[in-house]
Structure 1
Amino acid sequence: MAQASEIEWTDATWNPVTGCTKIGPGCDNCYASRFAERWRGIDGHPYEQGFDLRLWPDRLEQPLRWKKPRLIFVNSMSDLFHKDVPVSYINSVFETMESADQHVFQVLTKRSSLLRKYINQRYQESVAPDHIWLGVSVEDREHSSRIEHLKQANASIRFVSFEPLLGPIGKVNLGGIAWAIVGGESGPKARPMDPKWARELRDQCLRQDVSFFFKQWGGPRPKSGGRTLDGEIWDGFPVHRMKKPMSEMFARS
């Protein structure tokens, strides 16, 4: 079901798909997999199948029933562009998002080439609506090609989540990117994030006019290391690209 979220950069989560498979080092200690596998084999539990991929058609229209505008993270417990999610089902998810334009939807994937292919087929003569933000996760320099795939997609608002940040990204061209999120890994096997990596990304965002959001340092728990970077809270959002100020669209505390 759709739920209020403790993730700092969103208001709620919506999971019309759950479950996934690992495709890179950023997936090694996946929080969603760790959570879901606790319930494997428990009859009647939403995660009785653990983290195996599952479609939830009965959840497809949930955002249409939410009248109050909110930021919605799509598939916090999966990846919409997993190769085993049928295109027809992805179409249904996009139809809901297109209709529920009182919200902003945040779609995040590691499968960047599949995102690019789908978006460019769906919006051949235009771009995705500006209330559907499209993003990719990048954990280190070796996976930065995902950013280029995203830049090639017909999107209005593009964002990159550098979380968990597992290594330096180096110099990166963020042209066409509206928003960057940076965060360290959390959980019992969390790998530390070097402050230099976060500062390097922050400084590049500032130079390239990209909204910068510092989510967390990480550690055994998400809030273990706090959220300040060089003594400041960085809560940048791409508000300059939205139709209304954030304060008018969302009730954020």
Structure 2
Amino acid sequence: MVEVDCLTKYYGGFAAIQDVTFSAEPGQVLGFLGPNGAGKTTTMRILTGYMPASSGTAQVAGYDVFEESREVRRRIGYLPETPPVYPEMTPRSYLDFVSRIKGVTKRERPEAIEHAMAATQSLDVGNQPIGTLSRGYKQRVAIAQALVHNPEVLILDEPTIGLDPKQIIEIRNLIRGLAEDRTVILSTHILPEVTQLCDKVVIIAQGQIVAEEDLGMGGATEDLEAFFLKVTAHDAVELNVVDPTVPSNSTEVEAGEDTSGVSDMMHDSETEGTE
């Protein structure tokens, strides 16, 4: 379970997020929806321990994000918007590397790697250099690194950005399966991502939560679009209301918010690389 209460982050005098409050239950897919620049990535990076908050509290699986950050990181799997993969490594060698950093023991490591690759349907490319894989398979490997230590909470920041329609459908189906036994938080600016995947939506605009609603699976995009336009006013023009899996005259995919690179994911390397 994830509980966030009054999170605020200032950059100088600018409030990137202010009084952000929401919760996500086990087995639930929560959509964190907002225009580009609304504060989604800032919130996700605070939750995963890569950025301090100015004020407020957050708990993951009963552990305080700020006071018990090591315990929180053991229980969170994080996919940043820029997947942290090394092109010269194979998926197997990469996942072995990540599992050591995340404290998976030597005895548990082979099974953990196999499980993560099976869950992301990437076993068939396990020994190929990551740089030779399609973008869709690279994203599967990136999701596998978030799963390799079997976290209770999975946080995905714009997981389908830059993928083609077929790859988007495959990743969405994959996410549905992963949500069966853990909490999933999906940060996105794409409406159909929320309507097709999420049980609940939290809408953020200009750094503040403006709405929180329960959703039925397969909810109507039109209803959520109208609701979003109502509560976000002038920011709503930045929302992607077109499903990228549906053919159209434009193939351009919108860019997301601030990216998080390899160094962010690896900054906790001082943690237990247990043999």
Same fold (TM over 0.5): no
Choose between structure 1 and 2: higher helix proportion: 2
- What TM-score results when the alignment is normalised by the length of structure 1? 0.30
The TM-score, its normalising length taken from structure 2, stands at 0.29
Give the number of the structure with larger relative contact order, counting CA–CA contacts within 8 Å between residues 6 or more apart. Answer: 2
